[in-house]
Structure 1
Amino acid sequence: MKKKIWQLMLLMSVVWGCLGIVAKADSLNYKVTTDLPKNQITQGTTYFDLKVKPGQKQTLTIHIKNSDSKQHQYRISTNRAVTNGNGVIDYSQPKAKADSSLTFNLNDAVSKASTVTVAAKSTKKVQIKLIVPEKSFKGIALGGINITQVLDKAKKTSGVSIRNQYAYVIGLQLRETKKITTKPVMKLIDIKAKQINYQNYVTAKLQNTQPVIMHGLKVTSYVTAVNSDKKVLSTTKENMAMAPNSSFNFAIGDGNKQLKAGNYTLHLTATASDGKYKWNFTRNFTISEQKAKQLNNTAINQPKSTNYFWWFVGFGIVIVLLLGVVIWLLVKNRRKNQD
């Protein structure tokens, strides 16, 4: 009975602990609109697609409408477009390292990040300064204007507060000509054994060296031992994209295998724009004993050593039961002899 009461108390404590976690979803109570200038190329859009000249100075205007019943602060920053590890163009990384092929860094041409306050039930005009470099550039420079509401500091409670934060992104594309003739070019920078979210992969660092978006990207890849046709790892992904002058690590494998030291060959084919552009790469690489051991020891899917504790417990119980039976038989036999 005491054991059942103890189990009930433990269950109740878990339930109350779970109830202590409070999830608070902040509703999206603001909206952002743009004033498209005269040098806007693509009409009928909500993003900036501007035809510019070397050395041009311009002010871009956006409007933040706060529909909430109290005032809020908003953080405005403009970030150069990059490609994330999933093969998606990303505008949310203000501190992303510039690619080695980049010649025009959009981050250097716009106003620094700032914070504005918008009163309740009102709209505020925000201006962003743009200064185009004196040196002419080809293709496009791509980025995004991020507008994020600054959340109030969460009150300290006994539970855990979970809050959702939303952000508006207004695209910003600059070019000196209406028609873009620059063609994408892909390079394979390097191949590494790497851990992503505590799972082991072989990654191929792919680079778009040109100032143009790489649309409809499909990558087919597999890894073999050197001078072998047997596939050790393989991955195919499609419907990806790459930002101009950017690179990303394409992960090969499912993350569930341990890596073995040895000499390998990467076979990779990439196509873009529905197969209009195609690249083939075949390159050898090595995974050292030290690297394989390091990654395998920290991976969440590493084989666990067999736990013999419960085997010993079970074996001990069997021994005790057998001893009990032997003692019971001896006692029973002695009583029988005495009778």
Structure 2
Amino acid sequence: MKKYFVGITTIFMILLAIPSIHVSADDVDYSVQAIIPDNQIDKKQGYFDLKMQPKMKQRLQIKVFNSSNHEITIKQNVTYASTNKSGMIDYSNKPLKEADKSLEVPLPTIAKISDDTIKIPASSTSSISVDIEMPEQSFDGMILGAVEFTQVSEKNTEKKESGLSIENEYSYIVGVKLSETTKKITPNLNLLDVKAGLNNYRTSVSAVLQNDQPVILDNLSVDAKVYKKGEKKVLHKAAKSDLKMAPNSNFPYAIDWENQPLEPGTYVLKLSANNGDQDWNFTKEFKIGDNAKDLNKKAVDVEKNYLWWWIIGGAIAAILLFLIIWIILRRKKKKNNED
């Protein structure tokens, strides 16, 4: 039975934390363009930055250009903005159940796309529409998301001798930012949880950070240190800057365990963060449980702890030495008795 692996190349540019659509790539057969409406706040931008009102209904138009000499298939999704584990805003398609609990109105719940999939003839143009219906209740801040376009091209399918095939997909992102008022919203950072796990298959501890406000939290610097409970020595630490969080989102800020095995016990995390205007400081006690053994087995490049082997080996050596001395003394005593 053949196995299929999907390699996804996402092509986008970030401008004011919103993905642009003005992108070019030699091996991509298509491009997209947003048709900017009259209620666009900044008409210089290529993404949707719209001034909305409660209960307002609006249809957005996006053109899709096929620049190739063959028919192509494009699928599209409406997505909500999240924050990935690298601390950057992510517009790729994700299940709504993974959204942060503070996100009251994810874009996919108020924006519906006209066609999930379209076929575009060679050297032709098609368009898709996105119907938006705003909630009844007015809100401050922003609703942030995107329309994701993905090409699935049979000509890029490479079949290998092993029977595996790799299907390449190319994605464009058209940002959608909706706001109703100009009230300034202040971002807020929370520490939701601290837990041991694997980051890129390496042992780590993650501090789950949350921005619970409907505004982008940018220029974020984070400094985290982990201690064994009751001790002052820093076991592991991680400092990063220029992080950016989507509105009403969370992400796991990883503290690398430096290829050391995770050891069960009680630890303390001390984490400080700032965005140039605000400071946050957290101290949280957490435990690494019995699942550490399984995590260490799954981790790559983890340094093995040979302490118990040394203890067992030392005990065996001590017993052998004791037996040798006992045997020598016994033989000596026997010989003396014979004399």
Query: TM-score interval w.r.t. the shorter chain?
Result: 0.7 to 0.9
4+ aligned runs moved over 2 Å, structure 1: 153-165, 301-306
Query: Measured at CA, do residues 157 and 191 of structure 1 come closer, stay the same or move farther in structure 2, by a change above 3 Å?
Result: closer
Matched, 1:175 2:203: no
Tell me the matched-pair count: 279
SS of residue matched to 1:166:
strand
Q: Quick one: distance in 1 between partners of 2:288 and 2:151?
A: 45
SS of residue matched to 1:126:
strand
**Aligned residue in 1 for 2:145:** 143
Give the unaligned 5+ runs of structure 1.
Answer: 1-22, 307-339
The Cα offsets for residues 125-165 of structure 1, whole Å up to 9 and x where unpaired, read as 22111111112122100001111112227375525554542
**Aligned residue in 1 for 2:318:** none
Query: Measured at CA, do residues 245 and 305 of structure 1 come closer, stay the same or move farther in structure 2, by a change above 3 Å?
Result: closer
Q: Quick one: distance in 2 between partners of 1:297 and 1:36?
A: 53
2:205–2:257 Cα contact (<8 Å) kept: no
**Aligned residue in 2 for 1:75:** 75
1:39–1:50 Cα contact (<8 Å) kept: yes
The Cα offsets for residues 264-300 of structure 1, whole Å up to 9 and x where unpaired, read as 110101112xx11110001111112x12222112211
**Aligned residue in 1 for 2:118:** 116
Matched, 1:58 2:58: yes
Choose 261-270 or 248-257, whichever is displaced more: 248-257
Larger radius of gyration: 1
CA drift at 1:217: 1.0
CA drift at 1:180: 4.2
Q: How does 1:1-339 map to 2 (within 5 A)?
A: 27-96=27-96, 97-112=98-113, 114-152=116-154, 154=157, 156=159, 158=161, 160-177=164-181, 179-272=182-275, 275-288=276-289, 290-303=290-303
Q: Quick one: distance in 2 between partners of 1:249 and 1:94?
A: 16
Q: Which amino acid aligns with 1:134?
A: E
Query: Measured at CA, do residues 198 and 89 of structure 1 come closer, stay the same or move farther in structure 2, by a change above 3 Å?
Result: same
- Over the aligned positions, Cα root-mean-square deviation in angstroms equals 2.1
CA drift at 1:305: 9.1
SS of residue matched to 1:169:
strand
Q: Quick one: distance in 2 between partners of 1:221 and 1:110?
A: 38
Q: Quick one: distance in 2 between partners of 1:217 and 1:180?
A: 22
SS of residue matched to 2:154:
coil
Query: Measured at CA, do residues 231 and 73 of structure 1 come closer, stay the same or move farther in structure 2, by a change above 3 Å?
Result: same
Query: Measured at CA, do residues 263 and 55 of structure 1 come closer, stay the same or move farther in structure 2, by a change above 3 Å?
Result: same
Q: Quick one: distance in 2 between partners of 1:66 and 1:184?
A: 41
SS of residue matched to 1:296:
helix
CA drift at 1:247: 0.4
SS of residue matched to 1:295:
helix
CA drift at 1:27: 1.2
1:78–1:94 Cα contact (<8 Å) kept: no
Q: Which amino acid aligns with 2:43?
A: Q
Give the unaligned 5+ runs of structure 2.
Answer: 1-6, 10-25, 307-339
SS of residue matched to 2:291:
helix
Query: Measured at CA, do residues 220 and 305 of structure 1 come closer, stay the same or move farther in structure 2, by a change above 3 Å?
Result: closer
The Cα offsets for residues 173-216 of structure 1, whole Å up to 9 and x where unpaired, read as 00002x34110001100111111232111110000000000011
